[in-house]
Amino acid sequence: MKLSGRVACVTGSVRGIGWEIVQAYAQEGAKVVICDLHRSDVDRAVEQLGLSGEKVLGVKADVTVEEEVVHLFRGIGEKFGRLDILVNNAGFAWPRGGPIDLEIVDTPFEVWLKVLNTNLTGTFLCSREALKMMRAQGYGAIINISSPQGKLGKALRGPYCAAKFGVEGLTQVMSLENSSYNIRVNTLNPGGIVATEAIRKIPGNKGKKMLSPEVIKPCAVYLASNEAVGITGRSFVASEWNGQHRIEVAYTIA
């Protein structure tokens, strides 16, 4: 198994892309940390994963709150004594419950802050704490989940584009600052719209062909494993990577 003995934390991991990555890492032998906003969701995900207690940790944490992030990584250290892989997945294009599809001129400040705080500040806070552990042990891999909108702006997605462009830049900075510590930092985006629970609920999306969340799994495993030694500061597109490696690109109908 490619991740045997490794410890991996995935934020926003009770559903969607995060849940697919957690399952993939567990199947490859990793001990996993499930982190999300609501205790009941975390507990349910831990139960569904079906791992023995020494191989899984479930933590309720808001990645935008510094104290909760510090508590998350302290708990990882106390239980496992190390952290090998961090996937910064927690994020959304618009707050749950809306509003959505706003031009910048109509975007309330509180909406701007919610989107940037989760997607970008959360990535910063979690990466900062993870890097402290990874530097001490002389090894680590950080994977920041990005989006096609982190490279090409899209109308009505102002806060999300700004956040994901920021994630791409932050990834490059962290790669430059930490390669001498044997820590790899890369971004990974699915390559298009993924039929997550939230996306399926948006009016007008029903019946559309979209990427299935599991599209992210093969490249996420690759970037976390020894196969990617020396790969850092790069930006990967999961659907393209799958195609290049003759892995079927998974689609579904929303």
Which residues are CB-neighbours of 246 under 8 A, at least 6 positions away?
A: none
The 10 Å Cβ neighbour count of residue 229 is 10
User: Phi and psi for 17 in degrees, rounded to 5?
Assistant: -60, -45
Q: Does the annotation mark 160 as catalytic?
A: yes
The 10 Å Cβ neighbour count of residue 23 is 18
User: Letter for the amino acid at 92?
Assistant: F
Distance CA 24, CA 6 (A): 13
Q: State the catalytic residue, choosing from 25, 139, 160, 222.
A: 160
Question: 193's torsion region: left (phi>0), alpha (psi -120 to 50) or beta?
Answer: beta
Distance CA 162, CA 115 (A): 9
Active site residues: 160
